[in-house]
Amino acid sequence: MCGCSTHQAQSGTTAEHDPKALRVKVEDMTCGHCASTITKAVEAGLPGACVQADLATKLVSIRGTQDIATVEALIAAAGYTPSVPALG
């Protein structure tokens, strides 16, 4: 989790709805620095994956993998708390 007080919660661009994308909710993603850290961590751990972090919805969308366990582990290793959002 981002511990710096210089970042303010920002609204990122809304990720396009891609039914094939894996989506993970990250409630403790609170600023642009958090979104960048998560994006870099997932992209480094899953080369070729395309990651979009949306601060407004606190959703991280990942295209190029369906390996939820790896995605959750990468986000957790970056210091955040991932959860799979309910479908519906």
**What are the sequence ranges of the domains in the chain?**
29-83
Q: Which of 48, 54, 50, 40 is nearest to 12 (CA)?
A: 54
**Which residues make Cβ contacts (< 8 Å) with residue 23, sequence separation at least 6?**
59, 60, 61, 62, 84, 85
Assigned architecture for domain 29-83: 2-Layer Sandwich (3.30)
Q: Does pLDDT of 10 surpass 70?
A: no
Query: Residue 70 has what pLDDT?
Result: 96
- Does the pTM surpass 0.85? The reply is no
Q: Are 71 and 82 spatial neighbours (Cβ–Cβ below 8 Å)?
A: yes
Query: Residue 60 has what pLDDT?
Result: 96
H helix count then E strand count, the chain? 2, 4
Q: Does pLDDT of 79 surpass 70?
A: yes
Instruction: For residue range 16-75, list pLDDT tens digits in order.
Output: 567 789 999 999 999 999 999 999 999 999 999 999 999 999 999 999 999 999 999 999
